[in-house]
Amino acid sequence: MIEPINITTEELKDQRIIYIRFRGSYVEFRRKSKKLFNELFDFATANNLINPNKTKVLTIYDDNPFITDEKNLRTSVAMTIPTDAKVIESGKICESSISGRFAVGHFEMSGSQYGEAWQFMYQEWLFKDKAKPRDAVPFEMYITEPPKNLKDKSLTDIYIPIV
C-alpha cells in the first residue's frame, strides 16, 4: 500500500475558496471534472483571483458514496482565493471557506493510487487512534499539477478533519 512522505497537522482559518459542486456518481464526476476545473479557472482568470505562487486547486468530497445515493452524491472542484479578493458569485460558481484542524497526508502518487492513499489515511492512520475525527468534509489539494495519464506521479495532499 502507498504511504505518505509524511503526515503533518494544519489549522486553516477562513481559507476562502470558490467552487463548483457536482452531483452524481464518481464515474460521472471523473468524466466531467476537467470541464468543471476549466470553468473554475476561466472564472478565476476573468476575476483576477489567481496568484500563481499561492493558488491551490482542490477536490472536496462532500458526501460518502456508500451513504448518499448517486443522484445526490456531491463532489466539489475548488480553488483557494486571496483573503481580500472581491467575488460576485455567478453561473455555477459559489464562494465558501474552510476552517479547522486537519491531518495532512503528503503523497507523491500516480492517478491510479488515490484510492489507496485515502484508504491509508483512514484505515492505517485515523482508525489506528492517531487522532480524533472532526465532523467536516475531507479534500485533496494538488501541490503539483496531476499528470494527464495514470502512470506519472505528482504531489497531492490529503486533508482529513481532526479535533
Partner 1 sequence: MNDKTKNISSKQVYTRLINKTEDYIENNLKEVISLKDLARNAHLSEFHFHRIFKKYSSETVNEFVTRFKMERAAIFLCVNPKINITTISMEYGYNDSSSFSRTFKKHFGISPINYRKQQELSRKSNWFMK
Footprint of partner 1 on this chain (CB under 8 A)? 19, 21, 26, 61-68, 72, 74, 89-92, 94, 96, 114-115, 118-119, 122-123, 126-127, 132-133, 135-137
Nearer to partner 1 (CB atom), residue 50 or residue 137: 137
CB of 118 to partner 1, least distance (A): 4
Nearer to partner 1 (CB atom), residue 9 or residue 51: 9
- State the number of CA atoms in the 13 A half-sphere of 141 facing the CB: 21
CB of 63 to partner 1, least distance (A): 6
Residues 6+ apart with CB under 8 A from 63: 72, 73, 74, 75
Q: Is the dihedral of CA 31, 75, 58, 151 positive or negative?
A: negative
Which set of grid coordinates corresponds to residue 77?
472542484
CB of 122 to partner 1, least distance (A): 6
> How far is it, in rounded angstroms, from Cα 85 to Cα 103?
27
Nearer to partner 1 (CB atom), residue 48 or residue 97: 97
Nearer to partner 1 (CB atom), residue 54 or residue 163: 163
Residue of 34, 36, 31, 123 whose CA lies nearest to 76: 36
CB of 39 to partner 1, least distance (A): 12
